[in-house]
Chains A and B, each alone.
Chain A
Amino acid sequence: MIRAHQLSVGYGKRVVLRDLELTFPAGECCAIVGRNGSGKTTLLNTLAGLRPVLGGTVAVQGRPLPDWGRPELARVLGYLPQHMRVMFPFTVEEFVTFGRLPWRRRKENGEDAATIDKVLQELDLEGLRHRPFTQLSGGEAQRACLAQVLAQDPRILLLDEPLAHLDLLHQLSAMRLLKRRARQGRAVVVVLHDLALAWRLCDRFLVLAEDGARSVASRDGAALPAALEWAYAVPFGYSTEMGPLVFGGVPPEGGEWDENLGSSERPS
């Protein structure tokens, strides 16, 4: 699990988010949502130890982040960046195998080959096993990247937009995989733009906006749309079957959203 105390994140001197109190417990899927530039990726980067904290502390498995050695941290925490540009023709199998690097010469995490076979099968990559990465489509490449992080088998998964380029079926199967990982006691933190997907997958939303962050349970029909309205400035409703829904169509040119719509008139 990851715990952050009075955490401020940002670039250089520019603070994007300040004084966050966050807990991502084991066994839970949490979605980080928010507008463009609200600091989703920056927060994830910082939690992964790839960017210095601008204030406060981050503790991974109860131990402060700076106390972890890199190889040690890699066995506990897996981070999937949003974009991975690979210019060299590694095959999918080779590419996924890199995820086993932190476990090199360690048997405690099972055999490499068995783990890789399982992950390739889970993400429907068996047929692409010997295909060069450079020849994959966007969605196939993204599945390969996800497979690499899953092959790493960390206790904490920090994933930045892992489903963005997947087709619907692969999105659903990948979500099932991540849910299963959470049930097995992993902490799963996912940055997502698609609120409907986030609602299906996650137990909790961390909603980011300029003036802070709100953590709400994804099945809380009152708090969730309110938090989303706060972050996106768009009227939200909530359906018990579909999750958070945006009211109305496209807003008229130069006009505002109909003021009659919004959290006050939510369908039951």
Chain B
Amino acid sequence: MNSNPYIGGGDQRERRGEAPCGRRASVRRPHLWTVYVVSAMALVLACLVALGSGAVPVSWRDIVAVLAGREHGTTMRLIVMQLRLPRVCSAALVGAGLALSGAVLQTLLRNPLAEPFTLGVSGGAGFLVTALAAFVPAAFALPYAAPLAGFLGAALAGGLVFALAHRQHFSNAALILCGVILSFFFGSLIMLNFAFGRPAALQSVMVWLMGDFSVVTPSTVLVTGLGLIAPLVLVFASAQTLDVLAIGDERALGLGVPVRAARRRLFAAAALMTGLCVANAGIIGFVGFLVPHLVRFLVGARHRYVLPLAALLGAAFLVIADTLARVLFSPLELPVGAFTGITGALFFLAYYLRRPRGEWEAEAL
């Protein structure tokens, strides 16, 4: 009677064949487990290469022997266990932490361009650590002072962004604006610390500020690792909440999620992770921004898939970056933050220049 399947409730499959629905093919994502296994293997491989390369090359067999507890008292054991292993662990932890923090912040702000760095959180950490090194060098020399100061600075900056953006209900514009303002503010304060602090202590802080793993010790790795446990557990347990927060606060509230409490908790977790990372290795850009993007491209947006992969790939990425920064111009060692910044920028420049001219015109207008 009624030939229109919409109104008459007829066979919908019939219509779908001719409808313009198929004008864009559905995304084909690689198989989940393949992505995870390859990423995990990449991380293990990166760690082994990192442990083996440097001024004194160590063969894989020797690395395995040292890790297995043999080779007591040799120089090789000293190099691997005391110098390289803490550094590799630190790079892996920081990479995972920054990538997770970036993924969480991008979701909380519903802004794919967000990362810890753009929100002024890293700036706050950098400010407090430089202030400590500049004006209280005795306290800075204590083993847990830098991570603690970094964390407190991140909490300070994060709290400031939080309080300022709260007035505008955490709108994207408000958060980004507050972040930019605080970045400038803390950047200036860091400069002031350099200008008026004691030069001797500040030279090492300068390198640290550009992102540097050369100062890590087993104790800082332990502190970072322990500190990351709580936010890591919280973030992984909040995968479903993050999914719903990503589609908007109104809808999330309507679906029964206690939005304000969840946002507060997750923001605190992200700030804690960032603070620990910055305290450990200084300010390392691009990891927290780039890795979550890559991950969403590979496995989609659901956080139960995104979060573990972001941690894995963030860790692998930073271990590789640190190894290259260490080895590429040996004996000169590049600060890893400068290295990730330059390679990241070049990567995006290449991507940008490969786009046909004017492709984004319609979107920009």
Number of interface residues of A (CB under 8 A): 45
B57 contacts partner chain A, Cβ-Cβ < 8 Å:
no
A50 engages B253 (CB within 8 Å): yes
Chain B interface size range? 20 to 34
B240 engages A84 (CB within 8 Å): no
A92 to B220, CA, bound (A): 44
B240 engages A50 (CB within 8 Å): no
A152 to B244, CA, bound (A): 13
A50 engages B250 (CB within 8 Å): yes
A234 contacts partner chain B, Cβ-Cβ < 8 Å:
no
A73 to B254, CA, bound (A): 8
Least Cβ–Cβ distance between B315 and chain A, in angstroms: 22
Smallest CB gap from A100: residue in B: B255
Kindly list chain B residues whose C-beta atoms are within 8 Å of the C-beta of A101. Answer: 240, 244, 255-257
Kindly list chain A residues whose C-beta atoms are within 8 Å of the C-beta of B243. Answer: 90, 94, 98
A89 to B296, CA, bound (A): 7
Contact (A127, B7) CB under 8 Å given A81-B251, A94-B301: no
B253 engages A88 (CB within 8 Å): no
A131 contacts partner chain B, Cβ-Cβ < 8 Å:
yes
Q: Which chain B residues in 8-30 approach chain A with CB under 8 Å?
A: 9, 12, 16, 19, 21-22, 24, 26-27
A62 contacts partner chain B, Cβ-Cβ < 8 Å:
no
Encode B293-327 as 1/0 by CB contact (under 8 A) with A: 00010001110000000000000000000000000
Kindly list chain A residues whose C-beta atoms are within 8 Å of the C-beta of B254. Answer: 48, 50, 74, 77-79
A21 contacts partner chain B, Cβ-Cβ < 8 Å:
no
B246 engages A90 (CB within 8 Å): yes
Kindly list chain B residues whose C-beta atoms are within 8 Å of the C-beta of A79. Answer: 250-251, 254
Stretch at the interface among B104-112, B119-127, B132-140, B199-207: B104-112
A48 to B254, CA, bound (A): 8
Smallest CB gap from A79: residue in B: B254
Contact residue among A45, A70, A81, A129 (Cβ-Cβ distance under 8 Å from B256)? A70
B159 contacts partner chain A, Cβ-Cβ < 8 Å:
no
B248 contacts partner chain A, Cβ-Cβ < 8 Å:
yes
Kindly list chain A residues whose C-beta atoms are within 8 Å of the C-beta of B26. Answer: 128-131
A169 engages B250 (CB within 8 Å): no
B4 contacts partner chain A, Cβ-Cβ < 8 Å:
yes
Least Cβ–Cβ distance between B248 and chain A, in angstroms: 5
Kindly list chain B residues whose C-beta atoms are within 8 Å of the C-beta of A85. Answer: 110, 248
A114 contacts partner chain B, Cβ-Cβ < 8 Å:
no
B112 engages A87 (CB within 8 Å): yes
Smallest CB gap from A134: residue in B: B301
B143 contacts partner chain A, Cβ-Cβ < 8 Å:
no
Kindly list chain B residues whose C-beta atoms are within 8 Å of the C-beta of A173. Answer: 6-7
B110 engages A87 (CB within 8 Å): yes
A221 contacts partner chain B, Cβ-Cβ < 8 Å:
no
Smallest CB gap from A169: residue in B: B6
Smallest CB gap from B254: residue in A: A79
Contact (A94, B300) CB under 8 Å given A86-B246, A127-B16: yes
- 5 A-B residue pairs with Cβ-Cβ distance under 8 Å, sorted by A, are A50-B250, A50-B254, A78-B254, A84-B247, A89-B300
Chain A residues close to B by CB (< 8 Å) = 45, 48, 50, 70-75, 77-81, 84-91, 94-95, 98-99, 101-102, 121, 124, 126-132, 135, 148, 152, 169-170, 172-173, 176
Other A-B pairs, 15, CB within 8 Å; known A48-B254, A87-B112, A102-B256: A50-B250, A72-B256, A79-B254, A88-B112, A89-B296, A89-B300, A90-B300, A94-B300, A98-B244, A99-B255, A101-B256, A126-B16, A131-B27, A132-B301, A173-B7
